[in-house]
Structure formats: C-alpha cells, structure tokens
C-alpha cells in the first residue's frame, strides 16, 4: 500500500543518512592542527537533523509585557549618531532608555530588524513621512529601536535615505544589539529558525519616562496598530480633533445646502 511504501522510503532515507554520516570524516578531524589549538570535530547533523532544524517551532517566551503606567526599565541602548556611516562610524553614545527619549511626549518604536521587508518598505518610511505632523502634535522624539548593531542600523538608514529620497534627521535610531531592552520590556519574540530572538513590532507612547500607551503587532509582517496612521490618531490633541470635527460638520452642512438649492432650482424651473 501507499502507507507501507512511504514507511519503507522513510527507513531508506534514515539508513542512508546514518551510513553517510559514519563513512564521511569531518573536515575538522582531517586537518592536522597543533595539539594546543585542535578542536573536537563538530558532529554532522544528518539529513533529517538539518531538515528538522529548519522546521523547528517558535519558542514561546513567557515574559510579561510592560503595562501602561509603568516606568521604563533602567536599560542602556546605543544611540546611533546622525552623521554615522559604515565607512567611518562616529563613536556611539550609550544612554539609559529614558535619557535617550528625553523629556516630554515621545514614541519608542520597536521593529524586528533592519532591512526586513515590512520594516523597510512600510513601517520606517511611514514614520519618516509623518514625523513633522507628530512633532506638531507635541511629540518631541520618535525613536526606532531594533536588535541590530549600530553599523547595520546606520547602513539601513543610509540605504533608505537613498532609495526614498528624503532625510530622516527627526528620528532617533537606537541599537539594542543584545536585546536587553526588548527583553526588559517583555516585547521580544522568537521569530523562528534563521532569525531567532528579535524585537516585536511595537509602539510605546512615553511621557517623562512613564508608559502611557502600548501597541503591538504580532509577527514580522503585520503592520496595523504600530503604523504611522494609528500613531497620528493616538497623538492627535483634543483641540485638533474638535477642529477637524467642526470642519467636517461645516462641509456636511454646505453639501446639504447645495443639494437643497439644486433641488429647488430643478423643481421651480419652467417645463
């Protein structure tokens, strides 16, 4: 039957993998090295081991997420200098996250990684384009943090500037290379084989070091609550909302009056 055939093929693959592993000497064992520096040969994983490794499930991390009203953890991050380049990266500055954000109202935006598709194509460009309006709404700092080193973040920023064609001097870039900050915030996730532990996609509104809003998008691709459009709504002052509502009412009233006028003209027009 098909089931018996599948089982037989599986056994053949397992047996062949085991024989190949025993028959092929490792490269480390075949190269002569001095006794003091010689390392033990790394065991070969075999076909099934390699396949299983790439299909491993994501590890669940039971770390509580920071809550509204909490003070930011006392964790240091690297502030990537605004004039940094990969050829001559200026010396970075390590600051406590509260110091890096500064006083007043700010947004701390976490992204899974530099050069990843959603971060590069949508998330970061949206923030850059909305930075001025957010500033008008009273946001003093927009800081982007990823679990990359400062060289990668600098190259990412520079490449995006060249592709998009506009600057981003209004944003602050933070390197959390060891993931200490996102772990302390409870906003870290295992993204799977080949990616590992990364920052979740999140947005924290912070006022003078205290968290006032927490937004999280799950996975590496989703972008809804942490995107620029939603952050503009969150940061919009009440007086701006009232003004926009009043303008909408005025347009609705004018539209209704225009329709009534056209109806009257049509009704009273001769034959």
Catalytic residues: 119
* Cα 141 from Cα 135, distance rounded (Å): 8
- Nearest Cα neighbor of 160 from 121, 198, 126, 129 is 121
CB-based contact 165:115 (threshold 8 Å): no
CA angle 52, 8, 24 (to 5 degrees): 55
247: Cα separation from own chain's centroid: 36
CB-based contacts of 134, cutoff 8 Å, min separation 6: 107, 142, 231, 232, 235
Other Cβ atoms closer than 10 A to 48? 13
* Cα 213 from Cα 221, distance rounded (Å): 22
CA distances from 257 to 128, 248, 251, 266, 270 (A): 40, 14, 10, 14, 22
CB-based contact 176:182 (threshold 8 Å): yes
- Nearest Cα neighbor of 77 from 56, 98, 107 is 98
Phi, psi of 53, rounded to the nearest 5 degrees: -60, -40
């Amino acid at each position: 039957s098909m089931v018996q055939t599948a089982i037989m093929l599986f056994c053949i693959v397992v047996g062949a993998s085991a024989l190949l592993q025993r028959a092929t000497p490792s490269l480390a064992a075949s190269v002569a090295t001095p006794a003091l520096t010689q390392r033990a040969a790394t065991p070969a994983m075999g076909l099934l081991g390699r396949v299983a490794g790439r299909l491993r499930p994501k590890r669940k991390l039971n770390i509580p997420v920071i809550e509204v009203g909490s003070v930011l953890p006392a964790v240091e991050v690297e502030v990537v200098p605004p004039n940094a380049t990969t050829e001559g990266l200026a010396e970075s500055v390590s600051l406590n996250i509260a110091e890096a954000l500064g006083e007043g109202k700010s947004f701390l935006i976490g992204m899974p990684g530099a050069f990843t598709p959603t971060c590069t194509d949508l998330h970061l460009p949206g923030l850059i384009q909305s930075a001025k309006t957010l500033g008008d709404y009273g946001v003093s700092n927009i800081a982007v943090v990823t679990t990359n080193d400062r060289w990668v973040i600098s190259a990412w920023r520079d490449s995006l500037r060249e592709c998009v064609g506009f600057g981003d001097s209004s944003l602050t870039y933070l390197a959390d290379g060891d993931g200490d900050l996102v772990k302390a915030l409870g906003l870290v996730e295992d993204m799977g084989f080949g990616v590992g532990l990364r920052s979740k996609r999140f947005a924290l509104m912070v006022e003078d070091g205290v968290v006032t809003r927490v937004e999280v998008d799950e996975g590496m691709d989703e972008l809804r609550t942490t995107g620029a459009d939603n952050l503009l709504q969150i940061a919009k002052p009440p007086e701006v909302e009232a003004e926009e509502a009043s303008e909408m009412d005025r347009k609705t009233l004018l539209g209704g009056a225009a329709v009534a006028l056209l109806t009257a003209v049509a009704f009273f027009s001769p034959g």
